[in-house]
Structure 1
Amino acid sequence: MSIANIVATLEKLEKMHKSLLELALAKTEYIKQGDMEKLDQLIKNEQAHVAAINTLEQQRQSMVTDYLRAKGIALTDTPSVADVINAAENSEIKEALVNVRERLVTLLNQLKMQNDLNQKMVLNSLQFINVTLDAMRPQRTEQFNYSGAEIRGNSEITKRSFNEFKA
């Protein structure tokens, strides 16, 4: 297994994550606009991207494992690109690995920040909807006489015995 194959796979991962970031940015706009149809389509597209990324990630892990075994290096639980960088002997290939890894890490951080923003926006929208629904629901008003007892006695609480409230 050559490092060039690992670099190529990392570059494919980088392209897929860039595309996923573009989808996350578009998702932000659709959330702002409240366009549920486009948002639904985008989420389906996003799921396809995630599936492709998972496949590439499995390939990357397999390549890294094969490379490290071929070099006779003891494997950790999840061998990483950093392990390959440490094992690489050619400085040009090592530099290529470092560069693509740094770009990928930066991209992943941007994607995480954008997804966090989208999540917060969706939660805020849901809170707004809940507040609006609560305001639109009729409030239950109970009528009490001057002693504080309920006038009609139709309350569910007054009909239950004390034993029903024990847990």
Structure 2
Amino acid sequence: MAVQALVDSLSKLDEAHLVMLDCAVKKRAAIMKNNVEDLIGILNQESRIVKQIEQLEDTRMTACYAFLQERGVKSQLNLTITELSRLVFDPEEKKSLLDMQKQLSDTLHRLKELNDLNQKLIEQSLTFLDYSLDLLVGEPEQAATYQHPADKSGGRGRPGLFDTRA
């Protein structure tokens, strides 16, 4: 019975990660459209899902410990599903557990790939914004006047949008 509780907790974790996967797809679209309002909404939704995943992870750990106790293991070890499956002797239960492990692993892998892609898109957007800002306000004025190399306190950064010396 503890094996089924473990499989159920893994199934719920997979469902929550599939919702996160859907959010990652929506996030990619919002990033590509440069829609900040949608992106903020998606991030808020992701935050709620992460809290739910943390609760589901606690449930999974409880199911793991219950399974270990049912098998006579008194330790509170953090065993992997593969290691736990070695303690399952019913072939159907073992197959069910390993199938759910593979399904969750595949979902997590897809989520990681999408998050990596979203990170690259955000980095490209920031690089483009920095480049656009440099075009708009111009490069810092360093070669306009002579400055002694030892006098570094007089250096200016990027000029503002309006020149206050006018």
Whether the 8 Å CA contact 1:65–1:79 is kept in 2: the answer is: no
The normalised TM-score by structure 1 is: 0.82
1:125 aligns with 2:125: yes
Alignment gaps of 5+ in structure 2? 156-166
Q: 1:4 is matched with which residue?
A: 4
Residue aligning to 1:17: 17
How far has the Cα of 1:149 moved from its partner?
A: 6.4
Match of 2:153 in 1: 156
CA contact (8 A) 2:65 2:76 kept: no
* 8 Å CA contact retained: 2:25, 2:114: yes
> Size of the alignment, in residue pairs?
152
* Maintained 8 Å contact 1:61/1:79: no
**1:31-86 deviation per Cα after TM superposition (whole angstroms, max 9, x unaligned):** 00001001100110011111101110111012102211331236474222222211
Is 2:44 the counterpart of 1:62? no
Counterpart of 1:143?
Answer: 145
Tell me the distance in 2 between the aligned counterparts of 1:35 and 1:13: 29
Once the two structures are aligned, what percentage of the paired residues are identical? 25
Residue 38 (structure 1) aligned with residue 47 (structure 2): no
Instruction: Report matched runs for 1:106-117 at 5 Å.
Output: 106-117=106-117
Specify the structure having the higher radius of gyration (Cα). Answer: 1
What amino acid does structure 2 have at the position aligned with 1:10? L
Q: TM-score under structure 2 normalisation?
A: 0.82
2:88 alignment partner in structure 1: 88
Counterpart for residue 51 of structure 2: 51
